[in-house]
Amino acid sequence: MKKAKRSVRGPLDKIRILDLTRLYPGPLGTMMLADMGAEVIKIEDINNPDYMRYYPPYLRTESAGFLAVNRSKRSVAINLGAKKGVELFFLLVKTADVVIEQFRPGIIDKMGIGYKNARKIKKDIIYVSLTGYGQNGPYAMQAGHDINYIGYSGILSSTGTKETGPVIPGAQIADVAGGAYMTIIACLSALWAREKTGRGQQVDISMLDAILPLMTLQMAHYQAVGILPEAGQAALSGGLACYNVYQCADGKYVALGILEEKFWKNFCEVMRHSEWLDRQFVVGEEADKLRGEISALFLTKTRDEWIIAGADHDICLAPVVEIAEIENNYHLQTRNMIIEQKHPACGKIKGFGVPLKFSRTPAKPGMPAPSLGKDTQAILKELGYSKSDIKTFQEEGVILVPGNSKK
């Protein structure tokens, strides 16, 4: 099978990935791989497509969430419950480098398209299996979502204060850091291992396992002192006045993140409070008192006035930016992290760019997220099937071709 000519190029050019993932973590990871040049073919069962396609809110007719995590991909819709559909899947496996799946343990094997069967078709195929709790262990078959994984990891218990109790983070930490990013790491690591050994393998990603390193520092501190700080009292979680969030006169907030003595000295000088110099790392009641004094100071100006006042002074002061403001951030625009694409059904849509900047193999987003089965016909032609064959597949309910299919 000849790989289709594509406009997307990058460090992963000529790598083909079959994407069986759904919802958020897997699709975000495969989208980033596609942005970096891999040819990602999103494979959906015609009777059970990616749920994210139907989750509100919508941009006109399309799910905003689906559009956000599925650009740069091609789409094939196959009946994976039919023998001929499985045969088509394995024909694609013969042409692929990696298969990424996000089913519960054992499900993909029951479908007949698991790693053991795939390696009979292509010995060096790589399977990346992404789950909440991993392929084995007491939790393996449990259902879960981001909040459950951060609950088990200790992350959730480390948020909030004594008064609020645990506070749910504003971003899905396990889905992104434990799911999407680890999927990328797994793919690249397995591809490099294959480069050296000529052998493929299956990579088992547990999102719970993957987010435990986020608590490395906290675990180390606990091992050292044997005492758990109260919620909101750990050094980097609200306990230090020099590393905290403060409200300003306009109701908006700034983030103060000073850990080095030299930056604290600059801060005290800029704010004209030399009496704070030897109080940077006070704790307990002394920290509460200092926090109150700093709070009173920040309430005298608006957020943006403080950012202007602190500019060029190295005081580690940043605005707490609201989501609506992100796209207008000049720094992010300069870094090409705010992109705009034209979608055939939705018009102009905005998203985030590629975070990794390559000097010799620059990566960039490709086409907008595809409609279900958009590339089924083209990819089957690449596999060598005729128009007559494709029509027969449609009539038998083996594939879906948008706007011209019979199920």
Helix (H, G, I), strand (E, B) or coil at 221: helix
d(CA 230, CA 282): 16
Closest CA to 129 of 156, 103, 147: 103
pTM: 0.93
Buried residues in 187-215 as b, exposed as e (16+ CB within 10 A): bbebbeebeeeeebbbbbbbbbbbbbebb
Residue pLDDT, tens place only, 64-105: 999 999 999 999 999 999 999 999 999 999 999 999 999 999
Q: What is the pLDDT of residue 9?
A: 78
With beta carbons less than 8 A apart as the criterion, state whether 116 and 172 touch: no
Each as own residue / partner, the long-range contacts of residues 54-62 (CB below 8 Å, 24 or more positions apart, any chain) are 59/343, 59/346, 59/349, 60/345, 60/346, 60/347, 61/345, 61/346, 62/343, 62/345, 62/346, 62/369
With beta carbons less than 8 A apart as the criterion, state whether 345 and 60 touch: yes
Structure tokens at 381: 């032609």
For residue 12, count CB atoms less than 10 angstroms from its CB and return exposed for 0-12, middle for 13-18, buried for 19 or more: buried
Q: Nearest 5°: phi and psi at 40?
A: -105, 120
What average pLDDT does range 251-276 have in this prediction? 97
Rounded to the nearest integer, the mean pLDDT of the chain is: 94
Question: Which of 112-121, 288-297, 395-404 shows the lowest mean pLDDT across its residues?
Answer: 395-404
DSSP tally for the chain: helices H, then strands E: 17, 14
For residue 78, count CB atoms less than 10 angstroms from its CB and return exposed for 0-12, middle for 13-18, buried for 19 or more: buried
Domain ranges of the chain: 16-213+334-400, 253-321
What average pLDDT does range 20-35 have in this prediction? 98
Q: Nearest 5°: phi and psi at 265?
A: -60, -45
Q: Nearest 5°: phi and psi at 351?
A: -160, -175
Residue pLDDT, tens place only, 161-198: 889 999 999 999 999 999 999 999 999 999 999 999 99
Residue pLDDT, tens place only, 288-323: 999 999 999 999 999 999 999 999 999 999 999 999
Q: What is the pLDDT of residue 403?
A: 75
pLDDT higher than 60, residue 4: no
With beta carbons less than 8 A apart as the criterion, state whether 18 and 42 touch: no
Q: What is the pLDDT of residue 231?
A: 83
Q: Which residues contact 248 (CB under 8 A, 6 or more apart)?
A: 254, 298, 299, 301, 302, 303, 305, 306
Q: What is the pLDDT of residue 2?
A: 55
Regarding the domain with residue range 16-213+334-400, which homologous superfamily does it belong to in the CATH classification? Crotonobetainyl-coa:carnitine coa-transferase; domain 1 (3.40.50.10540)
What average pLDDT does range 126-146 have in this prediction? 98
